[in-house]
């Protein structure tokens, strides 16, 4: 396991974090939703978007987000609650927020020093795609595209420091 | 023997997952109380007896660490084991929680098997 300081060095190049971010995401879906994510061959964009965001502060500052369409978010809630899809209601935002929170926590716990030196904000969930996100990120950020039950999900990490 | 559990997490989805994991772990639950933060949990404990508490750390109003610090003054919490279930992997949080009486620590994401490993031993045959 590389340390946070090792990984934070490197002229803003955090490409080595992509496998960690993907592993962190896959583990959350396997353990908490009981399903395997598959690789998205093309960078498919979700429609009717729902976006969950968790802020990171401390040794690593940034925003981690999980973006998917509303049907995928509802299916996540269904699997997490163990109820049929048609019985899912207001829990969708809560479920996606928790997924994002667990991905962020699992990701930082994979980097030595970040578990201790980086705190997470409560999740924020935005519904709809008609918005602009202005980040003060100092690097281009990381993004991975995966498929959840054949529906695209996009996990991105905007790094401020 | 069945037990009464108090599950404390600001996510209602996570509270349901924890309850389901307890049942999947073979723990017979006679009653499940839910609270969205430590302050709500203290209110639940004023009027109810429980055998087990599972508590998140990062919560609004009153977090999990503050909650367990308050427990020595709560009559209905005497001798009741508390297991922290959290995304936080910080060693200092683990140490602080254990030093204030938490009996275990489960990191999210988790499996029902992990819940069983951490919870069953501390129930001392009650489950």
- Ranges of residues in chain B with a pLDDT under 50 are none
Q: What angle do CA A80, A85, A88 make, to 5 degrees?
A: 70
Do residue A116 and residue B13 have CB atoms under 8 angstroms apart? Answer: no
Question: What stretch of H or E contains B10?
Answer: none
pLDDT in tens, A66-83: 999 999 999 999 999 999
Half-sphere exposure of A101 (CA within 13 A, CB side): 28
pLDDT in tens, A133-158: 776 666 678 999 999 999 999 999 99
**Mean of pLDDT values over A57-72:** 93
Give the pLDDT confidence score for residue A11 in this predicted structure. 45
How far apart CA B104 and CA B109 sit, in angstroms, is: 15
State the best of A77, A93, A95, A111 to mutate against chain B, taking most chain B CBs within 10 Å: A95
Instruction: At A92, list the tokens.
Output: 């969708």
Residues of B in contact with A108 (CB under 8 A): 89
Give the pLDDT confidence score for residue A33 in this predicted structure. 95
pLDDT in tens, B88-109: 777 788 889 999 999 999 999 9
Give the pLDDT confidence score for residue A15 in this predicted structure. 79
Q: A37: burial class by Cβ within 10 Å (0-12, 13-18, 19+)? A: buried
Residues of A in contact with B111 (CB under 8 A): 31
Q: Does residue A3 surpass a pLDDT of 60?
A: no
Give the pLDDT confidence score for residue A138 in this predicted structure. 65
Average pLDDT, chain A: 87
pLDDT in tens, B35-50: 999 999 999 999 999 9
């Amino acid at each position: 396991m590389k340390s946070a300081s090792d990984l934070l060095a490197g002229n803003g190049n955090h490409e080595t974090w992509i496998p960690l971010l993907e592993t962190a995401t896959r583990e959350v879906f396997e353990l908490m939703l009981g399903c395997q994510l598959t690789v998205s061959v093309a960078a498919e964009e979700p429609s009717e978007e729902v976006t969950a965001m968790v802020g990171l502060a401390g040794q690593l500052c940034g925003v981690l987000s999980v973006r998917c369409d509303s049907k995928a978010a509802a299916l996540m809630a269904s699997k997490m609650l163990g109820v049929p899809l048609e019985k899912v209601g207001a829990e969708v935002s809560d479920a996606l927020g928790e997924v994002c929170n667990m991905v962020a926590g699992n990701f930082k716990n994979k980097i030595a020093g970040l578990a201790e030196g980086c705190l997470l904000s409560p999740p924020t969930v935005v519904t709809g795609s008609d918005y602009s996100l202005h980040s003060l990120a100092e690097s281009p950020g990381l993004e991975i595209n995966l498929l959840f039950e054949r529906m695209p999900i996009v996990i991105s990490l905007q790094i401020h420091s | 023997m069945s037990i009464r559990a108090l599950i404390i997490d600001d996510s209602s989805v996570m509270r349901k997952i924890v309850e389901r994991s307890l049942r999947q772990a073979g723990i017979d639950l006679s009653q499940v109380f839910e609270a969205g933060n430590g302050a709500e949990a203290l209110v639940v404990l004023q009027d109810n007896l429980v055998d087990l508490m599972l508590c998140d750390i990062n919560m609004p109003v009153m977090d999990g660490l503050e909650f367990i610090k308050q427990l020595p003054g709560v009559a209905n919490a005497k001798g009741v084991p508390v297991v922290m279930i959290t995304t936080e992997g910080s060693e200092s949080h683990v140490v602080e929680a254990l030093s204030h009486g938490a009996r275990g620590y489960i990191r999210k994401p988790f499996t029902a098997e992990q819940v069983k490993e951490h919870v069953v031993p501390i129930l001392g045959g009650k489950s």
